[in-house]
A and B are shown apart, each in its own frame.
Chain A
Amino acid sequence: MPGGRRRKLQLSKIYSFRCGRSSFQEDHSQIGGPGFSRVVYCNEADSFESIIRNYMDNYVRTTKYTLITFFPKSLFEQFRRVANFYFLVSGSLTFTPLAPYSSVSAIIPLIIVIGATMVKEGIEDWQRKEQDVEVNYRKVRVHRNGGIFNYKEWKNLRVGDIVKVGKDEFFPADLLLLSSSYEDGVCYVETMNLDGETNLKLKQAVEITSSLYRDWMFGDFKAVVKCEDPNANLYSFVGSMEFEENQYPLSPQQLLLRGSKLRNTDYIYGAVIFTGHDTKVMQNSTDPPSKRSRIEKKMDHIIYLLFLILLSLSFIGSIFFGIWTNEDHQNGEMKRWYLRPDNSTFLFDPRRPVMAAVYHFLASLMLYGYFIPISLYVSIEVVKVLQSIFINQDIHMYYEETDRPAYARTSNLNEELGMVNTILSDKTGTLTCNSMEFVKCSIAGTAYGHAFTEIEGALARTKSNGYNDNELPKVVRSSSVKGYNFSDKRIENSSWVMEKHADMIQKFFRLLALCHTAIPEVDEATGKVLYEAESPDEAAFVNAARELGFELHKRTQTSISLHELDLVSCEKVERVYQLLNVLEFNSTRKRMSVIIKDEEGKLLILCKGADSVMFERLAKSSGKFEEDTREHVNMYADAGLRTLILGYRELEDEEYRNFSKKLNEVKNSISADRDSLVDGVIEEIEKDLILLGATAVEDKLQNGVPDCINKLAQAGIKIWVLTGDKMETAINIGFACSLLRQGMKQIIITLDTPEIQVLERAGERPAIIKASKESIHHLITRGKLQIDRSLEAFALIIDGKSLTYALDDDMKDEFLLLAIRCSSVICCRSSPKQKALVTRLVKAGTRKTTLAIGDGANDVGMLQEADIGVGISGVEGMQAVMSSDIAIAQFQYLERLLLVHGHWCYRRISTMICYFFYKNITFGFTLFLYEAHSLFSALPAYDDWFLSLYNVFFTSLPVVALGVFDQDVSSRFCLQFPRLYQEGVQNILFSWTRILSRMFNGFFSAVSVFFLCTTALELQAFNQDGQIADRSILGPIMYTCIVWIVNLQIALSISYFTMIQHLFIWGSIAFWYLFLLAYGAISPGLSTNAYEVFAEALDPSPTFWVTTLFVVVTTLIPYFACSAIQLRFFPTYHETIQ
């Protein structure tokens, strides 16, 4: 819609552009220098200058591979794994005469395994490719020539193109904002995909181009932009534009980033600056740190152990082989003449026994490759992907309200979920909903609002220590308006005018309606006003003000219009307040102010902020309500509410003029400490405020949080809450979500002691640090003594300031020692950095699995630092989810995720890995035993194809079924007996004793199979026809026994049978017989020794069946008896439950 309605509105001044325009002169001198070489000829993408620069096209590829690179690259990825590389090397060695078996049979399983992984990679990459195609083929209007805009696909955009982007469309590349549908060239963008912030950002074009607001105006538009080279910094942009022979500096304020979205603006025009992979968002896309689970790391160790076994077996064999080969031909006499040692090739040459031993070593490395489970990695990958599907598909972790199921972004960590020792949780948005509700306020020393908060309810419940909820007041929702849960007859329905301090009440709500950065949006259909606010708190305030009769309905660059009740006439009137300054909120100031001029021309500064900073800024004279308000604020904090103090002051014209001048001065200064100077100036005006009152906003606990935490605690998981809240609020939330219980003793570490405060006032930093450290050290030591003396459970509460010192190198170990002995830990007032540091400390200090859970951008560090990062896909954007490993919609799903899925996955994977080693040792060791009976000549006991298909066909599927479906106890019992979880935390199922005992079982099985089979079949006739069991018969018999044993072994390990398990287990065994039959039926040229061996020799002979039965049962009995004894006398917890 060219030339849409131009709103006479200059929104640009609502925001004080802190990184304003005047401060980047120094950066601009660099343009044209190294790192700042980009030159963009706007609207001249076809010109010679543009073409020679040959900037990247706008095609974005997120796939790992292309059609050409897929094979080499994915193969390379595969062979980076030690085991796969080993198989590649041994596979290529099979082409030499050294090979104990044929090369085809060695290569095919490798091809199958590698192929399966590559297919998986390919499918994943294909999905990425489809997304790419969808994005790259989106269309955008691009200036053709003569002011005509045509649609063009995104991928065809070139640097310098002029594009027109409409409302709610994504920017196709990094654009230079030229103009918008607003006269002053501003536009709003939503950057949720970039930084996870939901609030809209304001961008503004350079003044000179903002007049180009029609298509035709671009007919002969020409400009040259010189700017920095592509880089990953989202918040910086340095450039200049040459337009009509003038230079104009450019800043991030003009840059619209790909990945963000145009909002609240009808259209914008922009010039393409960075395309494709040059865009900031693509430059930023790094792979998240890849995490590997503990089990997988340990698995590597086991594989190394197996390699060690393999090497030593080969070595032993080679020594014997060398000796025996040497014996064969001594002093011209041949011992084993039938081997013709006098005429021997290199491999068996008795004249060079050392070389023969070396060659034998290589050959047996190939032969004993069956110790290394070739299909382990691919099986585990397949299993994990399927497990992830289970997690994603779990209806019990699906949150209807936001339509979000759980989503395992990486399947690497499934089993790690079953080993979590410590949970580090964010509070806001994680334990709570992060949807703020205005519930109470205190105005002029009077408390208003009756609502009974959930937290109060929970507190009352825990205090009365019973479950008789009936006697307790229920949490009543009085209002259907989101973010508003206030009820008080004295205030509602304009009855506040009758109150004693009606003027104060009026000022109070007026302040709420004025002091914010929210933007009203009139819904044209209903006529209702909706607000676009930076934070949920702000939205709650504006909503509350509206509900109580102070409706913000219009906001311009210089004014705010309210519909409010006139105190005298008691009628709704429109009042317009001139907005002079917005002094923004930041975390150091912990307050925000606006300076306004009301209709009477009075200058007012309205300020709201945290109690810690506000009380000291109040005028001494206004202290009459101060005590009451303080009391109320403490009461609110006890109830788990977030409080803000409101204050105001009338300003003299003179004072304001001074302030305004100074502010402008420091804002335009270039010095490095500009920000602190600005803060200093603002500080001067935000003083001597008159107290109006306090607000209390409830951040409601999410559903089921206390129960969930309770269960997790019962499961023996330690929970740390890291929050930015005040200590009182944090403690109360702790009680509410049953993190703290009445019987618990609290160890509180804080620096809010009088001595420290005195020092702080004196302001000597070294002294403060010293005293703080001493005090914290003292507190920690005392805490430890307390724990030593008492048997009760302890809770540690520490505030952010103390945490800074406690995390110092010299104290962190002590702190950790104390903390891990407490059952719950709460760190309040902690910064994102501290959260990450605490996570690292716990992870490194305890060497146990840590899980971090959070929802906001401030939790990203913590999520990435922890062993597992769980993101809550909540209100605060997608940033946390993007950097998490698993995303869930609600905190309460953590219970199921850990206790059920985690437990199962841990069990499955560890059983699976143990079993893999068991089955391969069983198989591999029979090879060794047989080789020992064949002069260590590296002759495999089995046919080549039996060898190679062992891992692929006859033993692979049941273990996958185990990995996917097995459950020791059902989900209900998992939740009912949370202590089951300790199995994973203490890593019982994957301890070295267990692994080694499984391996030992493998060795035992192999020995049993080999010796029982050979003894049973030795010498005497094998059937009634007097035939003898030769090599081609012994091999298949042993193999049959092994197939039965390893498959029955898994049947014994499986605690939960479905048809699939039955199908796979019995199917694998049946398949072996079928294979043997089919293989024997093909021409003897191919089947060699196995020709008709089953049909002719094995099947008709009762000896075969009798021997198989005996060997299989006898080999399994010790394991079975041991488990029965263990079950009887040393049961594990899950067995007790079973």
Chain B
Amino acid sequence: MNSNTPPSTSVAAGSVDPSAARRNSKRPKCNLLSLAHCISAIPRFFGFRFPEKMMPDLRFTVHPAGTSSLQANSDTAMGLIQLPLSVQVISAFLLVSIVFIPIGVASLLASHDVVEIVDRYDTACIPDSARNDKVNYIQSPGNKTCTRNITVTKHMKKPIYVYYQLDNFYQNHRRYVKSRSDAQLRSNGSADDVSSCEPEDKSNGQPIVPCGLIAWSLFNDTYDFSRNGQQLSLNKKGISWKSDREHKFGKNVFPRNFQNGSLIGGGSLTDSLPLSEQEDLIVWMRTAALPTFRKLYGKIEDDLQVNDVVMVTLENRYNTYSFNGKKKLVLSTASWLGGKNDFLGIAYLTVGGLCFFLAMVFTVVYLVKPRKLGDPSYLSWNRNPGWH
């Protein structure tokens, strides 16, 4: 507040004649808290009563003679409606366990319903001869086709999602994340908007579409699935978020000068397709949160039976060997809760159980040794006197 009241202010204050001072009495008027009170009065108006503890204590109440209805003072009803704290604590723990255990069971069941097959192929797809220098192998041209056989352990209902999983790949590196141009992806007119895309902004002076490191390092291993020699159809439509397809990647934006430079990063794009239809790119451009991540590759729109052997013909092109990244192929179904992860279910059960245990412990403690409220012998300063 006005801490350095200058003398002239007092002059001003002093000039008020006494009768005027009487008239403009400085008696406190309740203004701010009446607001608090008014708000709290609304529910009461509709017949709802708050526990007294929730009412504001209008400790600077209005005129004693005035509207005394505003004088709600919680002092009077203190502790009448309120439950003892011990009961509150126990019931809180109980409530948590009652809510958590069912959720935990449900999550666990959902996770158990999901069938997930993971196949690591980064080393396996390199010929034994080249395993000493995987980087050289992957960087040298030539056919890198590789075949993997995956045995289905459990019945898998369609749709079966196909993911690739990379490891130790920092899609969340700042340089990487920032190296894109959203404007350029969105509309044809902004093709020149490549300033943020360094160093993959231009090729031979021409802007690259899509520019930037993310697009440049597009994942380009490909998978083909067959069962018993029969091609399994892989649906690559709808693997990206709808909002991305429709609003972030333009229908009239076509790749230009892509993977044109001296150094080829990852996969290339079909120049004739607009970006909004290049869903592999859209999925890839949505950067992963953590260095180990999966990305959706496609959907198998067929049920897989137990002991089916799925043959995967894959082109092992993508270089994760430089940074010792693993590559995995994942086939998975999805429940209402998504993919397979027991963590949530177990965690829910653990916490729910723990809370139940705590509730029991507290109940026992309170039953065995109830504490008298207001007993001052518990006070720290009564135990070690000498403060006075």
**Partner-B contacts on A (CB < 8 A):** 60, 62, 100, 124, 127-128, 131-132, 134-135, 138, 170, 192-194, 258-259, 261, 281-282, 284-285, 287-288, 290, 333-340, 342-345, 347-348, 385-386, 388-390, 392-396, 398, 400, 403-405, 408-412, 716, 793, 823, 878, 882, 900, 933-935, 937-939, 965, 967, 970-973, 979, 982, 986, 1012, 1014-1035, 1056-1060, 1062-1063, 1084-1085, 1088, 1091-1092, 1096-1097, 1101-1103, 1106-1107, 1109-1110, 1113-1114, 1117, 1120-1121, 1124, 1127-1128, 1130-1133, 1135-1138
Residue on B nearest A169 in the bound complex, by CB: B15
Residues in A with CB closer than 8 Å to B336 are 1024, 1102
Query: Contact size class for B?
Result: 35 or more
Residues in B with CB closer than 8 Å to A1121 are 358
**Per-residue interface assignment for chain B, residues 333 to 369, with 1 indicating a CB less than 8 Å from any chain A CB and 0 otherwise:** 0111111110110011001001100100010011000
Most buried by A among B5, B216, B239: B5
CB distance from B51 to the nearest CB of A (A): 9
Contact, CB under 8 Å: A339 / B57? no
**Please, how many angstroms separate the alpha-carbon atoms of A1060 and B306 in the complex?**
60
Residues in B with CB closer than 8 Å to A1057 are 53-54
Contact, CB under 8 Å: A282 / B289? no
CB distance from B257 to the nearest CB of A (A): 16
| Known A344-B175, A344-B199, A1084-B186; 13 more pairs at CB < 8 Å | A134-B12, A395-B27, A409-B1, A938-B174, A972-B73, A1018-B341, A1021-B339, A1023-B338, A1024-B334, A1058-B55, A1059-B42, A1059-B50, A1060-B36
**Please, how many angstroms separate the alpha-carbon atoms of A170 and B14 in the complex?**
9
Residues in B with CB closer than 8 Å to A900 are 59
Residue on A nearest B373 in the bound complex, by CB: A1136
Contact, CB under 8 Å: A1110 / B344? yes
CB distance from B233 to the nearest CB of A (A): 16
Does any Cβ of A come within 8 Å of B4's Cβ? yes
Does any Cβ of A come within 8 Å of B248's Cβ? yes
Task: Tell me whether A335 and B199 are in contact in the complex, defined as CB-CB below 8 angstroms, given that A170-B15, A1030-B287 are known contacts.
Answer: no
Residues in B with CB closer than 8 Å to A347 are 175
Does any Cβ of A come within 8 Å of B272's Cβ? no
Contact, CB under 8 Å: B294 / A412? no
Interface residues of B in 4-50 (CB under 8 A from A): 4-12, 14-15, 21-22, 25-33, 36, 39-40, 42-43, 50
CB distance from B214 to the nearest CB of A (A): 8
Contact, CB under 8 Å: A1015 / B173? no
Contact, CB under 8 Å: A1128 / B86? yes
Contact, CB under 8 Å: B186 / A1085? yes
**Residue from B39, B53, B116, B378 within 8 A of A1020 (CB atoms):** B116
**Please, how many angstroms separate the alpha-carbon atoms of A1063 and B355 in the complex?**
29
Residue on B nearest A1037 in the bound complex, by CB: B289
Task: Tell me whether A1030 and B176 are in contact in the complex, defined as CB-CB below 8 angstroms, given that A410-B3, A970-B78, A1113-B100 are known contacts.
Answer: no
Ranked 8 nearest A-B pairs via Cβ: A1020-B339, A1021-B339, A1026-B161, A937-B174, A338-B217, A62-B6, A1034-B289, A393-B28
Contact, CB under 8 Å: B7 / A393? no
Residue on A nearest B218 in the bound complex, by CB: A338
Contact, CB under 8 Å: B170 / A934? yes
Contact, CB under 8 Å: A287 / B4? yes
**Residue from A281, A982, A1028, A1097 within 8 A of B288 (CB atoms):** A1028
Residues in A with CB closer than 8 Å to B247 are 1084, 1091-1092
Contact, CB under 8 Å: B60 / A135? no
Residues in B with CB closer than 8 Å to A135 are 8, 11-12
Does any Cβ of A come within 8 Å of B243's Cβ? yes
11 residue pairs bridging A and B, Cβ less than 8 Å apart: A259-B11, A338-B216, A340-B199, A390-B33, A398-B26, A410-B3, A937-B170, A982-B387, A1020-B332, A1030-B287, A1059-B50
Contact, CB under 8 Å: A395 / B28? yes
Contact, CB under 8 Å: B57 / A971? yes
Most buried by B among A334, A400, A1027, A1135: A1027
Residue on A nearest B106 in the bound complex, by CB: A1106
**Residue from B170, B263, B334, B355 within 8 A of A1025 (CB atoms):** B334
Contact, CB under 8 Å: A1128 / B365? yes
Residues in A with CB closer than 8 Å to B188 are none
CB distance from B12 to the nearest CB of A (A): 5
**Residue from A259, A336, A1056 within 8 A of B57 (CB atoms):** A1056
Contact, CB under 8 Å: B177 / A939? yes
**Residue from B25, B89, B337 within 8 A of A1106 (CB atoms):** B337
Task: Tell me whether A339 and B213 are in contact in the complex, defined as CB-CB below 8 angstroms, given that A192-B14, A934-B174, A1020-B340 are known contacts.
Answer: yes
Contact, CB under 8 Å: B3 / A131? no
**Please, how many angstroms separate the alpha-carbon atoms of A979 and B183 in the complex?**
66
**Please, how many angstroms separate the alpha-carbon atoms of A1092 and B240 in the complex?**
14
Contact, CB under 8 Å: A339 / B176? yes
Residues in A with CB closer than 8 Å to B292 are 1018-1019
**Partner-A contacts on B (CB < 8 A):** 1-12, 14-15, 21-22, 25-33, 36, 39-40, 42-43, 50, 53-57, 59-62, 64, 73-75, 78, 85-86, 89, 92, 96, 99-100, 103, 107, 114, 116, 135, 159, 161, 163, 165, 169-177, 182-183, 186, 198-200, 213, 216-217, 238-239, 241-243, 247-248, 263, 265-266, 286-296, 299, 319, 322-323, 332, 334-341, 343-344, 347-348, 351, 354-355, 358, 362, 365-366, 371, 373-376, 378-381, 387-388
**Residue from B21, B248, B362, B374 within 8 A of A1124 (CB atoms):** B362
Task: Tell me whether A1022 and B165 are in contact in the complex, defined as CB-CB below 8 angstroms, given that A1058-B55, A1109-B103 are known contacts.
Answer: no
Task: Tell me whether A409 and B2 are in contact in the complex, defined as CB-CB below 8 angstroms, given that A1085-B183, A1137-B374 are known contacts.
Answer: yes
Residue on A nearest B4 in the bound complex, by CB: A287
Residues in A with CB closer than 8 Å to B42 are 1059
**Residue from B53, B114, B241, B351 within 8 A of A1110 (CB atoms):** B351
Contact, CB under 8 Å: A1117 / B288? no
Contact, CB under 8 Å: A345 / B198? yes
Residue on A nearest B286 in the bound complex, by CB: A1030
Residues in B with CB closer than 8 Å to A939 are 172-174, 177
CB distance from B370 to the nearest CB of A (A): 10
Contact, CB under 8 Å: A128 / B337? no
Residue on B nearest A1023 in the bound complex, by CB: B338
Contact, CB under 8 Å: A1026 / B39? no
Residue on B nearest A1092 in the bound complex, by CB: B243
Contact, CB under 8 Å: B337 / A1102? yes
**Please, how many angstroms separate the alpha-carbon atoms of A835 and B337 in the complex?**
74
Contact, CB under 8 Å: A1014 / B322? no
Contact, CB under 8 Å: B4 / A288? yes
Contact, CB under 8 Å: B21 / A284? no
Residues in B with CB closer than 8 Å to A1135 are 85
Contact, CB under 8 Å: B14 / A394? no
**Please, how many angstroms separate the alpha-carbon atoms of A1025 and B337 in the complex?**
10
Task: Tell me whether A882 and B10 are in contact in the complex, defined as CB-CB below 8 angstroms, given that A345-B198, A412-B3, A1136-B376 are known contacts.
Answer: yes
Residues in B with CB closer than 8 Å to A967 are 57
